Structure 1
Amino acid sequence: MDTSKHNLSTLFDQLGLASGASDIEDFVTRHSPLPREVAIQDAPLWSESQSHFLEEGLEDDSDWAELIDELDALMRH
Structure 2
Amino acid sequence: MKQPQRHFHQLFEQLGLANDAAGINKFILQHTPLSAEIRLADAPFWNAAQSAFLHEALLQDADWAVLVDQLSLAFRAEQIA
How many Å apart are 1:5 and its aligned residue?
Answer: 2.5
2:35 aligned partner: 35
TM-score of the aligned structures, taking structure 2 as reference length: 0.89
2:6 aligned partner: 6
Which stretches in structure 2 are left out of the alignment for 5+ residues? none
RMSD value, Cα? 0.9
Which stretches in structure 1 are left out of the alignment for 5+ residues? none
Q: Tell me the distance in 2 between the aligned counterparts of 1:20 and 1:46.
A: 19
Q: Tell me the distance in 2 between the aligned counterparts of 1:12 and 1:33.
A: 18
Deviations 1:8-42 (A, max 9, x none): 10000000000001110111100000000000000
Q: Tell me the distance in 2 between the aligned counterparts of 1:21 and 1:5.
A: 19
- Does residue 53 (structure 1) correspond to residue 53 (structure 2)? The answer is yes
SS class of match (1:76)? helix
Q: Which runs of 4+ in 1 moved over 2 A?
A: none
Deviations 1:34-68 (A, max 9, x none): 00000000000000000000000000000000000
| % same residue | 43
2:26 aligned partner: 26
Larger radius of gyration: 2
TM-score of the aligned structures, taking structure 1 as reference length: 0.93
